[in-house]
């Protein structure tokens, strides 16, 4: 018997193959005088010696599949996620059960959570589904492609099994998956003869010495009644961060006319300082956080030079407004040596961002600037490393000089 199957209180009834023996006894009198009793026999009898009428209990095939998912399982594009089902042998004999998954057709639905639950409508297909048992161990391969076999399941045996499927990044037509997209998956259980036997087939010998097989299952989500099988549906629902990345620039100063904060509109000419700001926003309607890893910007160093001090005007003495300064604000803003990126956080409060701002020494290896979010967004309070919550925006500001 496969690991994970449990025997519940007996509801399957008398075991298949059991002999039921019965005799009837007649007492009577003639002319007021009691006569010897007569005991029955299948072919008739006139003596008191009984020959029981005997028949065998037939094999009642009755499988049941349900899902433990009261809501759709949250999934992210490109991930692998798991649905949970319970498989029960409600018949009266030990059976093998072969399991398989099917992707429900687009627009197919499933109601999860009972009458007051939620209906999910299929809009994409998951793929590469595997099925494991309670111990999260792969089940033996079944007789057909992409099937899994549970052997020797006793009457009333029940088990939790897990269908793990891969979520694509797009749906039909190459359209990107978005929040609320759903994939409805059906798990089907089919009865097989125990101990590795063939698929169960109904029989109708109606012979007292032969155990007939009778399909007594109801109709599941994707099968007809009395087919020797049963199915149930569950669903995945896309729940991912809703990120946007924007990169803007402004010209801080040029060597011909001066700086932007001096009332001058500087031009992007050689020697001018350009300030880039890259903003990453997780929509306040997103259902989940994003875990940021790295932000990288590869510069065209044949045309620009990276400003490693986050200052304006170094080595351009002809334009004093562009000259280096230690002032913390304005076009000439500078920080201590080596801190050449300014980070700003909005939409949230963190101890590592006093006032929502901090200056950092990111990683610049010509020609690429890299901001490692694991370092810049450390774990604190309820935040994990690199986490950008729904409604939060983080921006990085840095400068280049036009050659």
pLDDT, one tens digit per residue, over 301-323 is: 999 998 876 654 333 323 344 55
Position 2 in a domain: no
Q: How far apart are CA 236 and CA 250, in angstroms?
A: 44
Residue 167 shares a structural domain with residue 212: yes
Position 1 in a domain: no
Residue 52 shares a structural domain with residue 64: no
Express as a percent the part of the chain with pLDDT over 70: 88
DSSP state of 67: E
Pick from 9-13, 124-128, 160-164, 359-363: least confident: 9-13
Last residue of a domain, one of 180, 206, 238: 238
Residue 279 shares a structural domain with residue 180: no
Burial, 124: exposed, middle or buried (Cβ in 10 Å; 0-12, 13-18, 19+)? Answer: buried
Pick from 55-59, 66-70, 120-124, 340-344: least confident: 340-344
User: What residue numbers bound the domain in which 388 lies?
Assistant: 243-402
Mean pLDDT of 94-121: 95
User: Among 132, 123, 228, 221, which residue's Cα sits nearest to residue 180?
Assistant: 123
Position 382 in a domain: yes
Last residue of a domain, one of 188, 223, 238: 238
Residue 190 shares a structural domain with residue 125: yes
Model pTM score: 0.77
User: Among 229, 230, 276, which residue's Cα sits nearest to residue 251?
Assistant: 276
Q: How far apart are CA 196 and CA 118, in angstroms?
A: 39
pLDDT of residue 294: 95
Position 12 in a domain: no
Last residue of a domain, one of 184, 206, 238: 238
Residue 304 shares a structural domain with residue 330: yes
Q: How many domains does the chain have?
A: 3
pLDDT of residue 263: 67
pLDDT of residue 399: 86
Residue 121 shares a structural domain with residue 224: yes
Q: Is it the case that residue 48 has pLDDT exceeding 60?
A: yes
Residue 118 shares a structural domain with residue 64: yes
């Amino acid at each position: 018997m496969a690991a994970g199957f449990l025997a519940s209180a007996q509801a399957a009834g008398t075991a298949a193959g059991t002999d039921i023996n019965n005799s009837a006894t007649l007492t009577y009198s003639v002319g007021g005088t009691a006569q010897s009793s007569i005991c029955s026999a299948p072919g008739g009898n006139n003596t008191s010696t009984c020959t029981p009428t005997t028949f065998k209990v037939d094999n009642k095939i009755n499988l049941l599949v349900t899902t433990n998912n009261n809501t759709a399982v949250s999934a992210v594009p490109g991930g692998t996620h798991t649905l949970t089902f319970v498989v029960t042998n409600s018949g009266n004999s030990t059976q093998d059960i072969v399991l398989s998954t099917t992707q429900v057709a687009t627009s197919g639905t499933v109601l999860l959570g009972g009458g007051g639950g939620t209906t999910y409508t299929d809009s994409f297909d998951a793929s590469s589904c595997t099925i494991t048992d309670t111990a999260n161990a792969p089940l033996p391969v079944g007789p057909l492609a992409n099937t899994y076999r549970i052997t020797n399941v006793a009457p009333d045996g029940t088990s939790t099994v897990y269908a793990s499927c891969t979520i694509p990044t797009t749906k039909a037509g190459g359209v990107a998956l978005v929040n609320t997209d759903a994939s409805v998956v059906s798990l089907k259980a089919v009865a097989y003869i125990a101990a590795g036997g063939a698929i169960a087939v109904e029989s109708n010998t109606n012979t007292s010495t032969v155990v007939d097989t009778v399909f007594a299952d109801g109709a599941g989500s994707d099968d007809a009644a009395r087919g020797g099988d049963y199915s149930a549906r569950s669903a995945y629902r896309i729940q991912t961060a809703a990120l946007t990345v924007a990169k803007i620039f402004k010209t801080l100063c040029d060597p011909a006319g001066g700086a932007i904060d001096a009332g001058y509109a500087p031009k992007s000419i050689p020697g001018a300082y350009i300030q880039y700001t890259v903003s990453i926003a997780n929509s306040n309607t997103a259902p989940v956080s994003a875990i940021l890893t790295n932000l990288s910007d590869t510069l065209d160093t044949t045309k620009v030079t990276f400003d490693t001090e986050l200052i304006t005007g170094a080595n351009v003495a002809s334009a004093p407004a562009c000259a280096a300064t230690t002032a913390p604000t304005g076009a000439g803003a500078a920080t201590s040596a080596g801190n050449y990126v300014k980070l700003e956080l909005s939409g949230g409060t963190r101890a590592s961002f006093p006032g929502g701002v901090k200056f950092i020494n990111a990683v610049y290896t010509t020609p690429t600037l890299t901001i490692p979010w694991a370092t810049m967004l450390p774990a604190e309070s309820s935040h994990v490393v690199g986490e950008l919550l729904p409604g939060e925006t983080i921006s990085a500001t840095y400068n280049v000089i036009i050659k």
